[in-house]
Amino acid sequence: MADETIAEVLEKRGFTRRAFLQLCATVTAALALSPADAAEMTRRLQSAPRPTVIYLSYQECTGCLESLTRSFSPGLASLIFNDISLAFNDTLQAAAGEAAESAKDTAMKKAWGKYLLIVDGSVPLPQNGAYCTVAGRSAISDLKHAAGGAAAVVAVGTCAAFGGLPYASPNPTGAVPVSDIVRDRPVINVSGCPPIAEVITGVIMYYTTFGLPALDRLRRPTNFYGNSIHDRCYRRPFYDRGLFAKTFDDEGARQGWCLFELGCKGPVTHNACPTMKWNGGTSFPIESGHPCLGCSEPGFWDKGGFYRPLSVPTGHWSRAGVIGGAAAAGAVTGLAVAAVARSRQDRAQKNRQSGTDKKNPKP
């Protein structure tokens, strides 16, 4: 099974080579590869064995899988994902209970050392991982075992990549991202809440043909996470011209002005939303009139508020209280200092009058 190529899988299903070329064209388009790289990918895909993907879910909401399988044009995504490569996913498969667990073991054994492990969701550490168990096994031990046979691990979604919602303050379950646990295998973070479906499939295809993609500091593929939302945003000219929507229903909002004042985190968020867009290229949040939440960045839940502008101070301290309190303390200090200075002035004055000023003795 591991030696079967993608082209052969398509052939078996009765498609001609055209189907394979269509697949290549759409995948390279989604990856935004250069013409030379696209040609190279097509060449390599002909001989590349179809990838075995094992998809494990821990502390997650299944939104990532929803993004992947319920996208507007499920044809391609589901083809690559469900039909070609997916060997195990407990949410999508029909089997349940012990049958499901044995299916997982079989799939892992078959491709041990070669499969691509996709992890969705964060993993809690305390109490021996008791806050998240699947089939009586803690997520932490399950993940360690599965990662042992993986060629690489893809952390899908911000929970798996950076901890996400479970990790948000106060992190009651002690959740950690996958990269905190898997240290001896390459980890690719495909962050987002959820990630764009085409990005997930794109990363799988890229890995199948070229191996590990170039990663940024947060281990995200630079193909998709190389630019900030702000840099690719079609509303950027309005930011540069200083034109901002101030509420969700003012003239500026209607004119499509920049959403910075409404809390847009685009300047510090790296993702492919402005170029790849969502729902089969329909739009992305900013295009729909909502500021970017920054969902592909670590700790995006705890950035001081989704609707608070990026430049504005965070924290829930009382502005008047802190400034007033500091000013009052300043006044007290000032008065005390002045009192000391005054008494010194008085003493100097007295000394001068009595002629005992040693510094400036009277002639």
Partner 1 sequence: MGPSDVVIPVYPVAGAPSNGMTVADALIQELAAALVTYLRTQRSHVIDLTCMPLSGEDKERLDAYLGLGETSMDIHALLRTRIEETRYAGVWRVRHYGPDDTVQSERIEVIDVPEIARASTADIGRSAQRLAAVKGEEGVWQTKP
Partner 2 sequence: MNGASLLDFARGPGFEVAVAMLAFGVVWRLVGILALRRPVDHSEPRTGWGWVGGLRLVFSRSWPRREFRERVLHWDIISYLFHIGYAVAILGYVPHILVIRNLTGLRWPGLPGGVIAFFAGISAAALLALLGHRMSSPVLRRLSNFDDYFSWLAVFAPLVTGLMAYYNMGDSYQLVLGLHVLFGDLLLAWLPFGKIMHVILFAFSRATTGTVYGRRGAAL
Pair 263, 309: CB distance under 8 Å: yes
Q: How far is the CB of 159 from partner 2 (least distance, A)?
A: 17
Pair 104, 145: CB distance under 8 Å: no
| Peptide bond just before 35 cis, omega within 30 deg | no
Q: Which of 99, 90, 147 is nearest to 123 (CA)?
A: 147
**Of 5, 9, 19, 287, the one binding partner 1 by CB under 8 A:** 19
**Of 111, 152, 153, 276, the one binding partner 1 by CB under 8 A:** 276
17, interface contact from partner 2, partner 1, none, CB < 5-8 Å by kind:
partner 1
If you count DSSP H runs as helices and E runs as strands, how many of each does the chain have, helices first?
17, 9
Whose Cβ is closer to partner 2: residue 81's or residue 300's? 300
- Interface with partner 1 (CB under 8 A), residue total 30
Six token digits for residue 273: 């939303």
Q: Does the protein bind partner 2 through residue 331 (CB under 8 A)?
A: yes
Six token digits for residue 324: 């007033």
What is the C-alpha separation between 331 and 319, in angstroms, rounded? 18
**Of 21, 95, 130, 328, the one binding partner 1 by CB under 8 A:** 21
What is the C-alpha separation between 329 and 335, in angstroms, rounded? 10
76, interface contact from partner 1, partner 2, none, CB < 5-8 Å by kind:
partner 1
29, interface contact from partner 1, partner 2, none, CB < 5-8 Å by kind:
partner 1
Window 7-46: contact mask with partner 2 (x via CB under 8 A)? ----------------------------------------
19, interface contact from partner 2, partner 1, none, CB < 5-8 Å by kind:
partner 1
What is the C-alpha separation between 272 and 226, in angstroms, rounded? 8
Write out the H or E segment, with its range, that includes residue 86. strand 86-89
Residue owning tokens 């901890």 = 163
Pair 225, 175: CB distance under 8 Å: no
Contact set for partner 1, span 60-79 (CB under 8 A) = 72-76, 79
Write out the H or E segment, with its range, that includes residue 53. strand 53-57
Question: For binding to partner 1 (CB under 8 A), which residues are involved?
Answer: 10-11, 15-19, 21-23, 25-26, 28-30, 32-33, 35, 38-39, 72-76, 79, 275-276, 280-281
Question: For binding to partner 2 (CB under 8 A), which residues are involved?
Answer: 217, 228, 231, 239-242, 244, 260-261, 267-268, 297-299, 302-304, 309-315, 317, 319, 322-331, 333-335, 337-339, 341-342, 345-346
